Amino acid sequence: MRTLLHSLLPFNIAVALHNPFSNFNCRASISLSSKFIHSKPINEVALSISSALQRYLWNVMIRACVTEGQFHKSLELYNTMMKKGLSPDKFAFPFALKCCAGLSDLLMGKLIHQHSVCCGCINDLFVDAALVDMYAKCGDIKAARLVFDKMSERDLVCWTSMISGYAHNGYNNETLKFFDVMRGSRLKPNRVSILSALLACANLGALRKGEWFHSYVIKTGFESDILVATAIMDMYAKCGSLGLARTLFDETVGKDVVCWSAMIASYGVHGDGRKAIDLFDQMVRKGVRPNHVTFTCLLSACSHSGLLEEGKGYFRLMREKFGIAPKLSNYACMVDLLGRAGQLYEAEQLIQAMPVEPDASIWGSLLGACRIHGNMDLAERIADHIFQLDPFHAGYHVLLSNIYAAKSRWNEVEKVRKIMARRGANKIQGFSLIEFNNVVHKFAVGDRSHPQSDKIYSLLEELAAPMKRLGYVPLTDFVLHDIEDEAKEVALSYHSERLAIAFGLINTKQGTTIRITKNLRICGDCHNAIKFISKIVNRVIIVRDMHRFHHFGDGVCSCGDYW
């Protein structure tokens, strides 16, 4: 019996000695097993061996499923183990939590969190790190921060999970602040934390901060990492510096399909579809095989530039030359391409002929085209499809409301708003960002909270007269309220992008490019007004909205009013 115990104990004790990601130290396990046997009666040892060995074997199976990416199967094993009366330990929890993170199953993650507390696994570094990662990846960044703050010790993994969680949940300023705090704690950032920080800079349009991170990457030796190099290139493109992004792209060694696709996408959002096509053709000539993401980027570029026939050709090429079956994202681009070009019914036919069930985003692309072309009948029919698929999405309700408002159908506007209120579909608050002296300033419509508000509003009032002399006429259709025309003009004058532009004009030198980032689509009246402003102040003004870039200068926009 004693020989049998010696052969079994090392499995459990080795697991207890080491974290779940390391190899076993059998010599130390055998030494401890001898002390364990001699310190307890043999019947107690046998019972302990039985449960410990069972738990170890369950942990091995759970871990194996996680390693193979079978997250559902792993959680089934975890639940089965619980039903058999065998409580999980600190080695099971990190793997179970990893499954919840991979599946974005917040409810199950919270339940496993409760199990870990009940089993006394609080203040365990690996369990807490897995909890932070799970909450961050499931979108509950506040819960992730609570666990993080309570940890008695933290490794790089925990810091990285928080930074990545902030970045991927839209907390961009917090991402950058947390990165600085991590550096202050003398922990060396890794690839994931650097990628997250670069993503935050790109989302904010924070060019100066992005430049600092570029220099930091060079200093820390990450510039040879192809993912980091691609992220830097993408950051410059999203901050409006397309030329610099292309320079870095040309200098990058070992470009993979992700890098090529990112540069194609960059040309697309800047409205240069021809260069996107040229780059795609160059990529194919160099033997880099495109994937469905590459085609999504290419088709989107064609859509933003109005390259209808070219887009149709590349959509056929996906299957005919490369054997790539179009995914939902590819169909969405084609619907957008056809819709923007005014071929609304052809776009509807494409949706109906799709071999896969269209989701709300595809119908939403067509609804957006109805907004551009003022097709009310089709819009109402499409809206029925959308609200069956996604009844709580505020954006689609707002889009339909906008279509009604443009036709002055105020009763229908009010009906849509009541439906939104009943469903709890709250409208997303629009805002614009501008970076100045390494600080990102945020403005909302009619915002008077900024310390320079008086100067900002005064400048916009000064610009009003020369704008009208040049021919500016307010497009009051973009005011979504049934109010007098004069009040509509006032409401339009203080949209967030205009406030941000006025702030930039006040605080920067003549000749400096003004760069604005807006979280929603720029409205038609602001697009029109900024063309006049760019001519009056003799500045280049770059506005990035949720879909693309607009480069304004000398009274014209790079999009050619096709957006």
Q: Got the DSSP string for 310-378?
A: HHHHHHHHHHHTT-PPP-HHHHHHHHHHHHHTT-HHHHHHHHHH-SS---HHHHHHHHHHHHHHT-HHH
For the chain, the domain total comes to 4
Residues 114 and 178 in one domain: no
Q: Mean pLDDT across the chain, nearest whole number?
A: 86
Does 10 fall in a domain?
A: yes
Rounded Cα gap, residues 447 and 436, in angstroms: 18
- Res 363: pLDDT: 92
SS3 (DSSP) at 537: helix
Does 277 fall in a domain?
A: no
- Res 58: pLDDT: 80
- Whether the per-residue pLDDT at 320 is higher than 50: the answer is yes
Can you give the CATH number for the domain in which 415 is found?
A: 1.25.40
Mean pLDDT in residue range 112-135: 89
φ and ψ at residue 451, rounded to 5 degrees: -55, -25
What is the tens place of the pLDDT at every residue in 369-427?
998 888 988 999 889 889 888 888 888 888 888 888 888 888 888 898 888 888 877 77
For residue 444, list its beta bridge partners.
431
Higher pLDDT, 385 or 16: 385
Residues 92 and 200 in one domain: no
- Whether the per-residue pLDDT at 276 is higher than 90: the answer is yes
Residues 17 and 112 in one domain: yes
Contact indicator for 263, 245 with CB cutoff of 8 Å:
yes
Does 164 fall in a domain?
A: no
Contact indicator for 430, 496 with CB cutoff of 8 Å:
yes
* Strands in 424-554 per DSSP E: 431-436, 439-444, 514-518, 541-544, 549-553
* 477 — pLDDT class (breaks 50, 70, 90): low
SS3 (DSSP) at 551: strand
Nearest CA to 329 out of 261, 235, 234, 417 is that of: 261
Residues 415 and 454 in one domain: no
Structure tokens at 457: 């509003």
- Whether the per-residue pLDDT at 484 is higher than 80: the answer is no
Residues 417 and 452 in one domain: no
Does 265 fall in a domain?
A: no
| Domain stops at, among 398, 428, 458 | 428
Residues 412 and 464 in one domain: no
- Res 18: pLDDT: 38
- Whether the per-residue pLDDT at 54 is higher than 90: the answer is no
Rounded to the nearest 5 degrees, what angle is found at the Cα of 281, between the Cα atoms of 277 and 282? 115
- Res 19: pLDDT: 39
Structure tokens at 535: 């001519």
Nearest CA to 340 out of 366, 318, 369, 320 is that of: 369
- Res 478: pLDDT: 57
- Res 283: pLDDT: 97
Residues 416 and 442 in one domain: no
What is the tens place of the pLDDT at every residue in 288-317?
999 999 999 999 999 999 999 999 999 999
Residues 438 and 392 in one domain: no
**Percentage of residues of the chain with pLDDT beyond 70:** 88
Does 42 fall in a domain?
A: yes
- Whether the per-residue pLDDT at 157 is higher than 90: the answer is no
**Percentage of residues of the chain with pLDDT beyond 90:** 57
- Whether the per-residue pLDDT at 48 is higher than 90: the answer is no
* 506 — pLDDT class (breaks 50, 70, 90): very high
Does 401 fall in a domain?
A: yes
- Whether the per-residue pLDDT at 324 is higher than 50: the answer is yes
DSSP 136: H
- Res 483: pLDDT: 44
Residues 465 and 526 in one domain: yes
Does 411 fall in a domain?
A: yes
Q: In what order do the strands lie in the sheet with 439-444?
A: 439-444, 431-436, 514-518, 541-544, 549-553, 556-557
Nearest CA to 514 out of 526, 522, 502 is that of: 502
Mean pLDDT in residue range 243-252: 95
- Whether the per-residue pLDDT at 2 is higher than 90: the answer is no
Nearest CA to 398 out of 385, 384, 417, 424 is that of: 417
Mean pLDDT in residue range 8-26: 36
User: Exposed e or buried b for every residue in 517-539, given b needs 16+ CB within 10 A?
Assistant: bbbbbbbebbbbbbbbbbbebeb
| Domain stops at, among 193, 227, 254 | 254
Highest mean pLDDT: which range of 63-77, 280-294, 352-366: 280-294
**Start-to-end Cα distance in the chain:** 80
- Whether the per-residue pLDDT at 69 is higher than 90: the answer is no
Among 239-248, 333-342, 479-488, 550-559, name the one with the lowest average pLDDT.
479-488
Domain span including residue 540: 431-557
Residues 181 and 244 in one domain: yes
What is the tens place of the pLDDT at every residue in 511-539?
999 999 999 889 888 999 999 999 999 99
For residue 514, list its beta bridge partners.
541
- Residue given tokens 């020369």 in the structure block: 466
Q: Are strands 541-544 and 549-553 parallel, antiparallel or unpaired?
A: antiparallel
Contact indicator for 198, 213 with CB cutoff of 8 Å:
yes
Mean pLDDT in residue range 150-168: 88
Contact indicator for 277, 298 with CB cutoff of 8 Å:
yes
* 50 — pLDDT class (breaks 50, 70, 90): low
| Domain stops at, among 236, 254, 272 | 254
Q: How many helices (H) and strands (E) does the chain have?
A: 28, 6
Rounded Cα gap, residues 74 and 65, in angstroms: 5
- Res 45: pLDDT: 41
- Residue given tokens 């229908």 in the structure block: 412
Residues 483 and 536 in one domain: yes
What is the tens place of the pLDDT at every residue in 169-220?
889 999 999 999 988 888 888 999 999 999 999 999 999 999 999 999 999 9
Structure tokens at 549: 């870039």
Rounded Cα gap, residues 216 and 221, in angstroms: 9
Rounded to the nearest 5 degrees, what angle is found at the Cα of 144, between the Cα atoms of 138 and 149? 175
Residues 455 and 380 in one domain: no
DSSP states along 64-90: HHHHTT-HHHHHHHHHHHHHTT----T
Rounded Cα gap, residues 563 and 224, in angstroms: 37
Does 272 fall in a domain?
A: no
Rounded Cα gap, residues 385 and 151, in angstroms: 48
